[in-house]
Amino acid sequence: MKVALVHDYIKEYGGAEKVLEALHELFPDAPVFTSVYLPQFLGPHRERFADWDIRTSFLQKIPFKHKLISPFRLLSGSVFKSFDFSVFDVIISSSTGAYVPNLLNKKTSQLFCYCHTPPRYLYGYATARNWARNPWLRAGAHVANHFLRMQDFKASQNVDQYIANSEEVAIRIKKFYRKDAVVIYPPVDIPAPNRYLAEKNQDYFLAGGRLARAKHIDLIIRACVDLNKSLKVFGKSFAGYGEELKLLANSKIEFLGEVSDEEKWKLYKGAKAYLFASEDEDFGIMPVESMASGTPVIAHRSGGVKETVLENKTGIFFNDLSVESLIQAIKKFESRKFSEKECRSWAVKFSKDRFMKEIKKLIENRK
């Protein structure tokens, strides 16, 4: 069985890239087809992709391509049609909702799509860029998005089997594409209890990941400043958001930038709780990683995180995206005790081994 992997673009390392990495581990001989590959922006994660067979599109030759990731979505249909998949039996696309990778010529191959979400910018979900503030951009985007939605729906009908990363995303696939999806939760590394040595329950809260507007890290900082709580924030800033966050901080807010896996797990393990204010998150791998380290979560009640956090057992929810709502959740959290063992045992449900077995079974049992 010859397998090809498809990914929108490779410029940053997050939950979608973790899935791609696991798929590549499952099918190590599979080439990865992507629009552009920009390892210089991957920071400490650059070496993860160093020995892969990565095949890029004609966009790779365009100067300043790193600044054109968003405009490239207008060309993404043509980009993935340009690849030759005629020798493959199975194509697995890892679709982040940025581009339209499923609009490809699959020939006689079967196309499986691991869908992180239908494009958020097309269907009214919060995105990293606040383009709606600009009236000219807003008007142009509405026109462009109408045609992109038509293209996106056409691409969706090319898929033989959808795989959703959460029940939340399965509902979106049914709503926007009129297709059923199998839910296979993405892979989360579950470290051994004593793999990363760190003092448990140090006096800080933790937030981080991809520092983009839809993650509402600003709300978390405001709440911690108001409560005079220590907060560590890790991750790469997106679209200048990091500089805005620093203006909100006081001396008890520490920005760590991108960190290695070892540093990240130590941060999780040492934190009182992981704070997660993402809006309508598709799945949310960071809260699961936190629970895997034995650390509970305080999360906004929306999106996939409603499936991954057990209320009052592995974390606390807050209902409104407001400083006041988060402050009340933090106070509620501090009045209760959470079991490190229970957090870890629940997180095993989302392990990498489970993901690999479920994907392998689905592909091998294809019709």
Q: Per-residue pLDDT tens for 35-73? A: 999 999 888 888 999 899 999 999 999 998 988 888 888
The Cα–Cα gap between 214 and 127 comes to: 5
pLDDT-wise least confident of 201-205, 281-285, 304-308, 315-319: 201-205
8 A C-beta contact, residue 49 and residue 10: yes
On the question of pLDDT at 134 being above 70, the answer is no
Q: Which residues contact 21 (CB under 8 A, 6 or more apart)?
A: 48
Is 321:303 a contact under the CB 8 Å cutoff? Answer: no
Neighbouring residues of 168: CB distance < 8 A, sequence distance ≥ 6:
280, 282, 283, 303, 304, 306, 307
Query: What's the pLDDT tens digit per position in 216-233?
Result: 999 999 999 999 999 999
Higher pLDDT, 147 or 314: 314
- Confidence bin at 8 (pLDDT 50/70/90): very high
State residue 3 phi and psi, 5-degree precision: -120, 140
**pLDDT score of 326 more than 90:** yes
Q: Model confidence at 196, in pLDDT bands (50, 70, 90)?
A: low
Answer with the residue of higher pLDDT: 258 or 191.
Answer: 258
Q: Map out the domains of the chain with their CATH numbers.
A: 3-187+351-364 (3.40.50.2000), 205-350 (3.40.50.2000)
CA dist 278 and 120 (Å) reads: 13
Would you state the pLDDT for residue 137?
56
